[in-house]
Amino acid sequence: MIYTVTFNPAIDYVVRLDAPLEVGEVNRAKGEDCVLGGKGINVSGVLAQLGCGSVALGFVAGETGAWLERGLAAQGLKTDFVHLEQGMTRINVKIKAGQETELNGAGPDIPESAMQELEKKLDSLNEDDILILAGSIPASLSQDTYERLLARLQGRGVRAVVDATRDLLVNVLQYHPFLIKPNNHELGEIVGRVLTTDEEIIAAARTLQQKGARNVLVSMAGDGALLVDENGEVHRIGCPKGKVVNSVGAGDSMVAGFVAGWMKTRSYSFALRLGTACGSATAFSLGLATKEKIDELMKEI
């Protein structure tokens, strides 16, 4: 089974205006949407499109948390959230008015007792289960939270996938994650230099493998992606053609596609193809990738 963790899920309240936002004035929307999200939840959503079941873990609080839970259930996603006694699941306001303005909520504080409850849920994971950790750590938790969770799972055969930046990513390498997914700029920040060629990216990816990562998937936006797999092989892929209308969730979608592709075939080249199709399908859509769009792009890649 695949498990995703979203520490600070959100309801994105997306407001569309006909005219530029006027600060200090009454602005009237021409339309609005509510999108249920968070990086791990995005991964679960795309996995569902691919016919792969998953369990979305994390923390919810208050009426907004109950709303998010009901909404995900209506989408057919299985969840097993820890319910916090205080606070409320955050609402992020996204104003689209030519330029996009965002106001992101802080989210609830997560007490130690809630972390222990999450750890008890993770204690049920066994060999061949996959755990996907994505995104930043909320301010109320220690920045070594990823390390804490992976240390607890060590020796159980659980495959960990980590999509995070800088120290959050580097510090988990000692636990030999199955997959990490930096983009080329994040990878450059980690190794301390700008990466401009495939050869430089491959060398930097191998550096992270030497520190413990098994597979390093490097996304490069419109330039495609590069995978250095645990067997030392390099896989390079371009992007299908299309107009980018949305970058939110594209990286999460790539992770979902890669994991689903690998689980179905145990082929790293196929996993990279499906991951690229899923990431592009989200980038070319207003929301997350759909099965129809993924299938369409798989024919092009």
Mind telling me the catalytic residues?
252
Please count the other Cβ atoms lying within 10 Å of the Cβ belonging to residue 80: 12
- CB distance 257 to 282 below 8 Å: no
Kindly report the backbone phi and psi dihedral angles of residue 266, in degrees, each rounded to the nearest multiple of 5, phi listed first.
60, 20
Please give the helix or strand (H or E) that residue 95 lies within, else none.
Answer: strand 90-97
In sequence order, which residues have a C-beta less than 8 Å from that of residue 12 and are 6 or more positions away? 34, 35, 36, 37, 91, 92, 94
H runs (alpha helix) in 154-267: 166-170, 184-191, 198-210, 250-265
d(CA 22, CA 39): 31
Q: What's the token pair of residue 110?
A: 């997560």
What is each CA distance from 157 to 125, 138, 149, 175, 204, in whole angstroms?
Answer: 9, 27, 14, 11, 27
C-alpha 47/C-alpha 79 separation (Å) is 13
Q: What is the largest CA-CA distance in the chain?
A: 59
Closest CA to 298 of 289, 244, 183, 220: 289
Residues 6+ apart with CB under 8 A from 246: 282, 283, 284, 285, 286, 287
